[in-house]
Structure 1
Amino acid sequence: MKNNIFAEGTAMSSQRSLFKALGWTDNEMKKPIIGIISAQSEIIPGHMHLDRIAEAVKEGVIAAGGKPVVVPSIGVCDGIAMGHEGMRYSLPSREIIADSAEILARAHAFSGLVFVGNCDKIIPGMLMAAVRLDIPAVFVSGGPMLAGKMHGERLSLSSMFEAVGAYNAGRIDEDELGRFECSACPTCGSCSGMFTANSLNCLTEALGISLPGNGTIPMVYSARLALAKCTGEAVMHLVRENIRPSDIITPKAVRNALAVDMAIGASSNSVLHLLALANEVGMSEEDFSLDIMNEMGSKVPNICKLAPAGKDYIEDLNEAGGISAVIKQLIDAGLFEGDALTASGVTQAERVKNAEVLDKNIIRPMDTPYSAKGGLAILKGNLAREGAVVKKSAVDKKMLRHSGPARVFDSEEAAMEAISTGKIVKGDVVVIRYEGPMGGPGMREMLSPTSAIVGAGLGADVALITDGRFSGATRGAAIGHVCPEAAAGGVIGVVEEGDIIDIDIENNRLDLRVDEKEIERRLAAFRPLEKPVTGYLKRYRAQVSSASRGAVFKK
């Protein structure tokens, strides 16, 4: 086992004096230094107890002969940032998380890494850093929160946002809204449905970079602490064997993650993050693109239907066999490459060989899925020439095909005002533009507008299209990531009030029913808006690429 570079030699005497200032012993300084990059904070429910997870990881590292050190990572709570200026910073934080992890690990010459995170942009940012650094690494999340309960029904954060929409529409009173507020999020952890945070934590299992159970064991379960200890032991095994992320997060693993993504009906945000990860791995557009995602979606059935698409929650998936049971079914069906290596030191097939589905209502058999196609769909057409994304599994069946007049808004706030005051009616197609990576800038999530539509009782009658993105908690005919975005001169920027928009999710189409010559005339005269921004957002806008490429920084 390779010790740390500071262990011996007079050239490192100065560095060792600084470690002694930390109270380290000579024996500790000879051990591999394991950086535990923890996103713990007191502002994010999913991060509230990450200090306890990190301490458990430390115990595992020490037991296996390493020297653990906890270092920080920033994080943004999308739910708290939702609906105001703060949401512009959520997706951009992913790049800073990746960069800061790279800086911490390289500057301090860590021998191995354990990434301790939760929530939407933290996990993908950490994944990008792990690939970039290529130091032996394992992931462990804080885990999901339990579902809330009210009036005999289970709730989640999406229920809360929809309750606000119902209140604005006059369907519930303020007292009822207050009861939702007190019931929706009953424990710490990442929000309880198959939202972005839980989607990405589940996909770390599919990538092989975390241990079984990472995506589904609730944060409040003692099994989560045991998992963290095992993760600390696992990273020491990887250090001893010199097994690196490049051995685990390969193109094969990224494709495996996409297969699981389709099977479990993950968040539409996973499209952005898998594209970004593929970019870090070095996969070309020919190797991994929106078109390839659609090809995978045509092969892999949707076998789980968790909130917001259904009534089951992450805790139910955990009890039903977890992601290991999903992977086992996919391997048996020839839809997942079982020879991929994992952080457990064995292949995926070996790791899940004893996994079984314990509840076929939650993890359906492959021959009786919720849908023969995957939970996400990529749409293309003259309105989205590079593509757009929809969480198909969360769309009401009657909205899989829809045509209606465009109601056009140049910001989320303008759309919210119209929805909240009853100006949107059945059949409308709400278009929100200038919310893409460049146009926002920052590509805000549109959970507030979509929840307002559902809360107003229009979820089965109104579609929403945006060059921004959606929370994993969004349900309904919500089509995001429209590319090219308005700020980049995309067709969405020249849609006019009343234009008819044709949506055909079953056939992967999104079209503006306007003559092509008229579209070209409008584009020729088009001058995109540019919102005034300063600081990091200004730099982000100048560097960010299209959402169809993962909204990563241009190389």
Structure 2
Amino acid sequence: MTNPFSLDALLGGAAAPLLDVSTSAPGPQGRLPLTEDMLLNAPSGDLFALSQNVGMGWDPEELTRTQVLILSTQGGIRAPDGTPIALGYHTGHWEVGLLMQAAAHELRANGGMPFAAYCTDPCDGRSQGTEGMLDSLPFRNDAATVFRRLIRSLPTRQAVIGVATCDKGLPAMMMALAGCGDLPCVLVPGGVTLPPEDGEDAGKIQTIGARYSHGTLTLQEAAELGCRACASPG
């Protein structure tokens, strides 16, 4: 008698493909650029990092390049054509990943090995009037700490590029880079949101509720102005 509660029955006969799980893979081809001195004296993490770098697709013959860490406040998941796969918290961090890509391509073209890490940021415009505002200012210090920890957690980095925007993420990045001592650093501001050609900017638009309640704005005006307010990412 067939068990109606078997995995195959519950999944409508689709259990077999789900249970066909790969438990090993061939692995990258090539050789790590190891030396006797590295094996005897380098931190074990430096050696394992080489394996991880190749495991992410890096060419084993290019593992000795200068390593540069690119940090950012990137948020959301943006498709190559600009459409959202998953939204971020605000327009400010929506496209800083494009700046990171440009920096990474330039570094690689000039013999570098770019790394990228992220600590995204909230938006106090979004959390205005809610208990989320309690996290706005503390986030700056928290993020600065996270960025510094990310920098220290890549011991082989020889320089850092920070890409950030807005009034919490950008100061957090500045604080982190300022704490890097003699490590070469570059700060890249991410740019601003353009105002609409006909409408209100991202600051004034945040008063539509108050203005409507005082009768200085109609419901239709509020809806149309609000839709145009963030005319571009930034």
TM-score by length of 1: 0.31
**Residues 1:33 and 2:33 aligned together:** no
Specify the alignment match of 2:159 in structure 1. Answer: 112
**Residues 1:138 and 2:186 aligned together:** yes
- SS for the counterpart of 1:148 is coil
Specify the alignment match of 2:54 in structure 1. Answer: 20
- SS for the counterpart of 1:138 is strand
Alpha-carbon separation, structure 2, partners of 1:160 and 1:19: 46
Q: CA deviation at 1:13?
A: 3.0
Give the partner amino acid of 1:32: T
Give the partner amino acid of 1:164: G
The CA RMSD over aligned residues, in Å, is 1.9
Alpha-carbon separation, structure 1, partners of 2:215 and 2:48: 68
Q: CA deviation at 1:7?
A: 7.8
- SS for the counterpart of 1:144 is coil
Per-residue Cα deviation, 1:262-304 (whole angstroms, up to 9, x for no partner) = xxxxxxxxxxxxxxxxxxxxxxxxxxxxxxxxxxxxxxxxxxx
Q: CA deviation at 1:29?
A: 1.7
Which of 39, 45, 56 aligns to 2:91? It is 45
The alpha-carbon distance between structure 1 residues 162 and 7, as it changes in their structure 2 partners (threshold 3 A), is farther
- SS for the counterpart of 2:197 is strand
Alpha-carbon separation, structure 1, partners of 2:222 and 2:166: 25
Q: Is the 8 A contact 2:119 2:146 kept in 1?
A: yes
Q: CA deviation at 1:112?
A: 0.8
Per-residue Cα deviation, 1:366-392 (whole angstroms, up to 9, x for no partner) = xxxxxxxxxxxxxxxxxxxxxxxxxxx
**Residues 1:158 and 2:203 aligned together:** yes
Q: State how many pairs are aligned.
A: 181
Per-residue Cα deviation, 1:493-533 (whole angstroms, up to 9, x for no partner) = xxxxxxxxxxxxxxxxxxxxxxxxxxxxxxxxxxxxxxxxx
Specify the alignment match of 1:147 in structure 2. Answer: 195
Specify the alignment match of 1:168 in structure 2. Answer: 213
Alpha-carbon separation, structure 1, partners of 2:110 and 2:171: 27
- SS for the counterpart of 1:37 is strand
**Residues 1:100 and 2:134 aligned together:** no
Alpha-carbon separation, structure 2, partners of 1:28 and 1:115: 24
Per-residue Cα deviation, 1:292-350 (whole angstroms, up to 9, x for no partner) = xxxxxxxxxxxxxxxxxxxxxxxxxxxxxxxxxxxxxxxxxxxxxxxxxxxxxxxxxxx
The alpha-carbon distance between structure 1 residues 29 and 157, as it changes in their structure 2 partners (threshold 3 A), is same
Per-residue Cα deviation, 1:243-276 (whole angstroms, up to 9, x for no partner) = xxxxxxxxxxxxxxxxxxxxxxxxxxxxxxxxxx
Alpha-carbon separation, structure 2, partners of 1:187 and 1:156: 11
Alpha-carbon separation, structure 2, partners of 1:143 and 1:174: 31
Alpha-carbon separation, structure 2, partners of 1:7 and 1:132: 32
Specify the alignment match of 1:76 in structure 2. Answer: 122
Q: Is the 8 A contact 1:32 1:67 kept in 2?
A: yes
Alpha-carbon separation, structure 1, partners of 2:34 and 2:113: 12
Task: Could you tell me which runs of 5 or more consecutive residues in structure 2 were left unpaired when the two chains were aligned.
Answer: 1-32, 77-87
Give the partner amino acid of 2:197: K
Alpha-carbon separation, structure 2, partners of 1:132 and 1:7: 32
Specify the alignment match of 1:54 in structure 2. Answer: 100
The alpha-carbon distance between structure 1 residues 156 and 97, as it changes in their structure 2 partners (threshold 3 A), is same
Alpha-carbon separation, structure 1, partners of 2:63 and 2:133: 42
Q: CA deviation at 1:36?
A: 0.7
The alpha-carbon distance between structure 1 residues 85 and 21, as it changes in their structure 2 partners (threshold 3 A), is same
Give the partner amino acid of 1:13: L
Specify the alignment match of 2:80 in structure 1. Answer: none
**Residues 1:177 and 2:225 aligned together:** no
Q: CA deviation at 1:35?
A: 0.8
Q: Is the 8 A contact 1:37 1:115 kept in 2?
A: yes
Q: CA deviation at 1:55?
A: 0.5
Alpha-carbon separation, structure 2, partners of 1:14 and 1:147: 48
The alpha-carbon distance between structure 1 residues 33 and 7, as it changes in their structure 2 partners (threshold 3 A), is farther
Instruction: Look at both structures and tell me which one has the larger radius of gyration over its CA atoms.
Output: 2
What percent of counterpart residues are identical?
A: 28
The alpha-carbon distance between structure 1 residues 7 and 127, as it changes in their structure 2 partners (threshold 3 A), is farther
Specify the alignment match of 2:14 in structure 1. Answer: none
Specify the alignment match of 1:251 in structure 2. Answer: none
Q: CA deviation at 1:119?
A: 1.1
Q: Is the 8 A contact 2:93 2:120 kept in 1?
A: no
Per-residue Cα deviation, 1:360-414 (whole angstroms, up to 9, x for no partner) = xxxxxxxxxxxxxxxxxxxxxxxxxxxxxxxxxxxxxxxxxxxxxxxxxxxxxxx
Specify the alignment match of 2:29 in structure 1. Answer: none
Alpha-carbon separation, structure 1, partners of 2:34 and 2:160: 18
> Which has the bigger relative contact order, CA under 8 A and spacing at least 6?
2
The alpha-carbon distance between structure 1 residues 14 and 175, as it changes in their structure 2 partners (threshold 3 A), is closer
